[in-house]
Chains A and B, each alone.
Chain A
């Protein structure tokens, strides 16, 4: 079901002979990324529609009759093939208004946002770190994979957002979670983890494309890329030998995605592993504008809004 590189990156018809983009691509909008988007028309169309509403069943709390009760609560319910815990609720505007949600039997989560933890593949009994955990969508998904055994350190730098994290941990019954409040790049270095999720603070173009269709400024992207590199370097120190790290963002800017992964490969013990996921996607890009990121980026994954009728996402899998 995925795409495996049939798209010829950099082949925009607006590209000039010297390889630079035309001025129409540099108007501050998402057109800047046209050359690295497989189906531009589909992308634009998807950005004009709201993302499809989806919820993720929580095995820690969901009852045996969850499927039946969910279908009682909502008119149309479709289960995703690639992850049977994902339920699509087309047209539903308030998916959190149900007894099942109150009780923690599901979490309202964009479908593409469920990909990073699926790739991370947490196992019961492990020690896992979620470096930027609030408000808890991926942290609670990790706890469910762990079957509430082992330890999940759910960290977030933002003290105000910790309240949402506490509430979601409690509501979903993620009893294996321990919450900490450190800047990701300044976590204490005395612990070690089997797996680490770096769902990094980013410019959020994956959702901004629906709001304003504006790309992030270079200054903002560069500043975030510096932070993301620092966070990933801290993460490498905290990872056990042979451990797995998943780096993800919800943005399109290659400087925050392939650029950060390139930095990690060049400056740490991390090596790249193929992201093996059965969802529509495009492979990561090896070049963008004047920057080269390398052939290895084909092992990473870009999910655009038109792929899953969801938010944009970038996912890379790394091993120490």
Chain B
């Protein structure tokens, strides 16, 4: 049987390494124990708009990809470096979500 797609893509191979997809992080959700960053509504909205957000409580966070948490649930992928987070949620998906926040 010829297959169009198998399951859901979990990882993208990029120049800087392996990147988890937003869909993968949402599925893993409760199982993600490290590199989780919870954001307030205003910070999450800023992030979705493309801004960088400062993380004040960065204990335990390591440089690299993080799971962005809002309202207790993992929403997608971000990049953390030097106390700053930027969004790695696909732009179209981020714009779609902004309408509902």
User: Which residues of A pack against B, CB within 8 Å?
Assistant: 60-61, 63, 65, 69, 97-99, 101-104, 153, 162, 166, 169-171, 173-182, 187-188, 190-191
Q: Which residues of A contact B2 (CB under 8 A)?
A: 180-181
Q: A63-B72, A169-B8, A191-B1 are in contact. Are A99 and B101 (CB under 8 A)?
A: yes
* Beta-carbon contact of A99 and B7 below 8 Å: no
Roughly how many angstroms separate A102 CA and B101 CA in the complex, as a whole number? 11
Among B7, B26, B71, B72, the residue within 8 A (CB) of A178 is: B7
* Beta-carbon contact of A104 and B26 below 8 Å: yes
Roughly how many angstroms separate A76 CA and B97 CA in the complex, as a whole number? 23
* Beta-carbon contact of A170 and B23 below 8 Å: yes
* Beta-carbon contact of A179 and B1 below 8 Å: no
How many of B's residues come within 8 Å of A, CB to CB? 22
Among A162, A170, A182, A190, the residue within 8 A (CB) of B8 is: A170
A152 → B minimal CB distance (Å): 10
Roughly how many angstroms separate A26 CA and B59 CA in the complex, as a whole number? 75
* Beta-carbon contact of B71 and A69 below 8 Å: yes
Task: Say yes or no for B75: interface residue by CB 8 A criterion.
Answer: yes
Roughly how many angstroms separate A218 CA and B97 CA in the complex, as a whole number? 46
Among A101, A173, A178, the residue within 8 A (CB) of B23 is: A173
Q: Which residues of B contact A102 (CB under 8 A)?
A: 93, 96-97, 100
- Report 6 cross-chain contacts, Cβ distance below 8 Å, ordered by A residue: A61-B29, A102-B100, A103-B73, A171-B23, A179-B3, A179-B5
Q: Which residues of A contact B27 (CB under 8 A)?
A: 60-61, 173, 175
Roughly how many angstroms separate A35 CA and B1 CA in the complex, as a whole number? 44
Among B1, B73, B99, the residue within 8 A (CB) of A180 is: B1
